[in-house]
Structure 1
Amino acid sequence: MTHLFATSATRYHPPHHGRPARCEGSEVRKTFMGVRLRRLREERGLKQVELAQALGISTSYLNQIEQNQRPLTVPVLLKINQAFGIDVQLFSEDEEARLITDLRDSLTEAPEPIALAEIRELATNMPAVARTLIALHRRQRDLTERNEAMAAQLGDQWIEGGGARMPFEQVRELFYANYNHIEPLDQAAERLYKEAGFAPRRVHAGLIERLRTRHGIAVALAEPGAVQRRYDPATRTLHVSPDLRQGQQAFQMATQLAFLELGDLIDRLADDPILTGPEARRLARIGLANYFAGALLLPYADFLAAAEAQAYDIEKLGRHFGVGFETICHRLSTLQRPEARGVPFFFIRVDRAGNISKRQSATDFHFSRVGGSCPLWKVYEAFVQPGRVLRQVAQMPDGRTYLWVARTVRRTAGAFGEPGKTFAIALGCDIRHAPKLVYSRGFDLTDPRAATPIGVGCKVCERTACPQRAFPMIGRAVAADENRATLTPYPVA
């Protein structure tokens, strides 16, 4: 039990062979556990004077401990253990730290920010209340996941108009409802591209000139660091990061140009009932400006013609237009003009932890609303072979089959020792469009056995025999049999 009060600077040693107890380090950390001690006394029906006599301390000293005016010392803790035989974990700093962690997780969606000091006070002085809050949050989260799983099984149309919970999810729904194609912005980008006389690999210089002549804005390099774009209205200067490649700098300049020249159009597009609050609308305006920037660098008609001529070869298209792998993939997922459609793609970006930070779809491919995804998606294997283009023919439980293309992209911080960012990008289309893609070469697209069986996410996946399952399916009982073990985790009863 003595380890409960060990810190990086102190450690308690109990009496041994007649020697007095001692502490290593400069001082013992003061531990205030007054509420817990008072609860212990009340549970045993003791008055303060009775507990003080049992512990061999004065009543006034016990009262000061219970009021957190004096710390609970190790000798007093030892006397509590000797007198009542209780589990000293009740007074453990480890238990307090765990409660603080769980409370912070449970209160992330609180109506207002809660300071760490208040959370620590709650965990230290009212642990039973803290555990109750944690239990209520877990119950609410479980109910939410069950509801979302039901919605996922019933289909997107059933929940259409219901509104996503978080503002960034509402923005995703806005683009999803438009099949990731915003025609007014595409038209505006094509008009500007022609009017300004832009051409592949010459957009960067053209944007600098347009900002200068039309808006009196000078473009300057910012200090190296985290800021990619910063506009100063007072000096009419647009700062862009020198750490960005030229195509990335052009994207940032085009985004700022969208706010300057298309503000009214962006406001009208962001005035959508899917977006239920000011934060969602602000995020939508940024997303729409980014859409325009991509459309300006890669104008619809020219880009579609080049994509079809190059059999949708992402790296060739990147070299031709002077932009990166991710930008090309994102733009390919938007080519859904009614009179000139490209291949309908879905697009996702994930990190090493499996978090999906971007997802767009012009297809019927369904992303789970319940969190997580399928570990058999090829996009996760891309981290094992960085920089290499990987392919996969994959089939969903309902029989829909897709061709996937995946590759990692890396963004360095520009200095030694500073963390960069590594993502895996994936682009996919229905198998019926696969012959148009260079990436289908070598696959027997008619052989159903060539497809990897995948799902949306483990919690809603119907593949009961999948050995890669990470969670049991929501709403289905697990066949728990102590006399039988199977290769499949969480076998369904």
Structure 2
Amino acid sequence: MRKTFIGPHLRRLRQDAEETQAQMARRLGISAAYVNLLENNQRSVSVAILLRLFEHYGVDWHDIAEDGAGARLADMRGALQDPLFDGTRPDLHELRGAQTHGPTVIEAFLRLHRAYMTTSDQLLALAAQPGELEPIFSASPEGAVHHFFRRQRNHFPVLEQAAADIWAEGPPATDDLYPALKARLHARHGISVRLVQVNDLPRTLRQYDQTRAEVLLSEALDHPNRVFQLVHVLGLIECRDQIEGLLNTSGIDDKQGRARCLVELANYFAAAVLMPYDAFLREARASKYDFDHLATRFGVSFEQACHRATTMQREGAQGVPFFFLRVDKAGNVTKRFNATDFHLAEYGGACPKLDVHMTFRLPGRIVPQLVEMPDASQYFVFARTVDRPTFERHGQDNRLAVAMGCTIQHAPEIGYADGIALQGAAATPIGINCRICPRASCDQRAHQASVLKTPVDESRRGATRYDA
């Protein structure tokens, strides 16, 4: 027979009865020392004692001997997978010890963790509402960087000038950029560039070894991204003072946040070098923002060309004010840039009616869409999948999707809108987030919105479980 320990339950039973260990011992016909051993799980309980507990305290032995320990242990292991516990996660032996000696502590911990998850969920829903809780969420490194770029309208004149100064005598031809960058790094800074096999640079695309004065590039990178990584490193070296100056005005104090911001500023510099402001804006207007054409013209990727278009905010020479979203197959927004006042760009992207999510079924194809927010504002949005570097056969189909959008007033300037009736056309009704979207009858609703207080009608079933 499996040994049964009931220590914490026995202690709670005795305390509820307001008895000492000696008083309980007399009622059960055992010694006080044995009660102490039972309470501390140093002895297993016998069937005879379980029957006496039922006789004297009216307790069903099933209630204390079969207490869902396995399920509670599984719940604990699940809760401890939270990244919050990285580096401090107890092993299974410790958890079993806690289960044996402190089940009430485990129950309290699980209640606390559930409350933490619920509160986090509610805060995320509130943060999706424009203007709410920005100081809280900007505390994360990504949030702090996003809000810094947002305050600058995603445009940094000092980096634009530094990029223009890189090729004082004119930029090399697109197909000469890679050797020109390698030559510049070697001649000016003594840095060599070496292309290495995937196995020699596992799970890494680029490594800059300052000690050895060497940049290693993975062969998993395609040519445009090899060029981009070299310009990024060049920015870290030759544009360091300008980047540090911007960091000092960012208001970001924590080490991780500043490091993230430095990387994004170096990326901005690299894009400005590869796609010079005036030339890019001129070509964008002439092609009606054909991003495949722009990517080919400047030797960059589709995503890089889209990202660069959001930075065209120089006073007196502004392009279409775009917002940029990048999502993964699960619908998570992995990157966003916003040079506008659009709430959709700032907080949205999760609405299943936004066709950026459908692009995974149509890889490589542009999907245009007219959308309307609950406040009746309308946008033209177009989206397409982009492929990520593949390290191994198990990492295939490593796709993301990017979406670009602008107010409907700017749609005639964009070729992807050709053939779409922009005036009076039916727009797809979308929202920022199900938790705050007021569209009660939406057939794609995934959560009950906090702004909807319609009572539940048990006699009716609508398009979703929330429409009743």
TM normalised by structure 2 equals 0.85
CA contact (8 A) 2:231 2:273 kept: yes
Given the alignment, which residue of 149, 167, 175 partners 1:175? 149
Distance in 2 between the 1:473 and 1:394 partners? 20
Residue 439 of structure 2 corresponds to residue 463 of structure 1: yes
Which of 223, 234, 238 matches 2:215?
238
Superposition map of 1:72-471 within 5 A: 84-86=61-63, 90-105=67-82, 108-109=83-84, 113-117=87-91, 122=98, 125-139=101-115, 142=118, 153=129, 155-156=130-131, 164-195=138-169, 197-224=171-198, 225-272=202-249, 274-367=251-344, 373-418=350-395, 421-449=398-426, 451-471=427-447
Cα displacement string for residues 81-117 of structure 1 (whole angstroms, at most 9, x for unaligned residues)? 9952317652422321112322543xx457x953333
Q: For residues 328 and 31 of structure 1, what CA distance do their matches in structure 2 show?
A: 66
2: CA distance, partners of 1:34 / 1:419? 53
Q: Are 1:402 and 1:429, in contact at CA under 8 Å, matched by a contact in 2?
A: yes
Q: Secondary structure at the match of 1:425?
A: strand
In structure 2, distance between residues paired with 1:70 and 1:281: 56
Does the 8 A contact of 2:25 with 2:31 survive in 1? yes
Whole-angstrom CA distance in 2 between matches of 1:32 and 1:369: 55
Whichever residue aligns with residue 90 of structure 2, its letter is L
Distance in 1 (CA, whole Å) between partners of 2:28 and 2:424 is: 79
Question: Post-superposition shift, 1:195?
Answer: 4.0
Q: Give the letter aligned to residue 307 of structure 1.
A: A
- Aligned residue number for residue 473 of structure 1: 449
| C-alpha distance 54-160 of structure 1, shift in aligned 2 (>3 A) | closer
- Distance (Å, rounded) in 2 between the aligned partners of 1:470 and 1:357: 20
Residues 200-209 or 122-131, more deviating: 122-131
Q: Per-residue CA shift, 1:302-327, capped at 9, x if unaligned?
A: 11111111111111212222222211
C-alpha distance in 2 between matches for 1:358 and 1:210: 31
- Assess if the C-alpha contact under 8 Å between 1:349 and 1:426 holds in 2: yes
Q: What is the distance in 2 between the residues matched to 1:202 and 1:56?
A: 94
Partners of 1:151 and 1:421 in 2: CA distance: 29
Classify the secondary structure of the residue corresponding to 1:201: helix
**SS of corresponding position for 1:288:** helix
Distance 1:414 1:308, change over 3 A: same
Over 3 Å counting, the alpha-carbon distance change for 1:287 and 1:31 in structure 2 is: farther
Q: Deviations over 1:281-321 (max 9, x none)?
A: 11111111111111111111111111111111111212222
> Is the Cα–Cα contact under 8 Å of residues 327 and 335 in structure 2 kept in the other structure?
yes
Q: Give the 3-state SS of the residue equivalent to 1:382 in structure 2.
A: helix
Question: For residues 220 and 188 of structure 1, what CA distance do their matches in structure 2 show?
Answer: 26
In 2: Cα distance, 1:127 partner to 1:368 partner: 47
1:486 to 428, 453, 462: 462
Q: Distance in 2 between matches of 1:468 and 1:40?
A: 50
Distance in 2 of aligned mates of 1:359 and 1:262: 24
Matched residue pairs, number? 459
Cα displacement (A) at 1:216: 0.6
Greater Cα shift, 162-171 or 380-389: 162-171
CA distance in 2, matches of 1:336, 1:197: 22
Residue 381 of structure 1: CA displacement? Answer: 0.7
Q: Which deviates more, 261-270 or 138-147?
A: 138-147
Distance in 2, Cα, partners of 1:239 & 1:454: 45
Distance 1:368 1:146 in 2: 21
1:379-420 deviations in Å (ceiling 9; x for gaps): 111112222221111111111111111111222433223466
The Cα offsets for residues 440-491 of structure 1, whole Å up to 9 and x where unpaired, read as 0121000242x10011111111222212111112254352222222224424
Check whether the contact 2:41–2:101 (CA below 8 A) recurs between aligned residues: no
Query: Cα offset for 1:146?
Result: 5.0
Q: Is the 8 A contact 1:52 1:59 kept in 2?
A: yes
TM-score normalised by L of structure 1: 0.81
Instruction: Give yes or no for contact 1:379–1:425 (8 Å, CA) kept in 2.
Output: yes
Cα distance in 1, alignment partners of residues 50 and 306 from structure 2: 63
The 1:440/1:371 distance shift into structure 2, 3 A limit, reads closer
SS at match of 2:386: strand
Q: Identity of paired residues, percent? A: 37
In 2, Cα distance between equivalents of 1:73 and 1:432: 80
Contact preservation (8 Å) 1:232, 1:238: yes
For residues 329 and 29 of structure 2, the distance between their equivalents in structure 1, rounded to whole angstroms, comes to 57
One-letter code aligned to 2:437: C
State the one-letter code of the partner of 2:111: A
Equivalent-residue separation in structure 2 for 1:72 and 1:346 (angstroms) = 67
- Contact preservation (8 Å) 1:54, 1:83: no
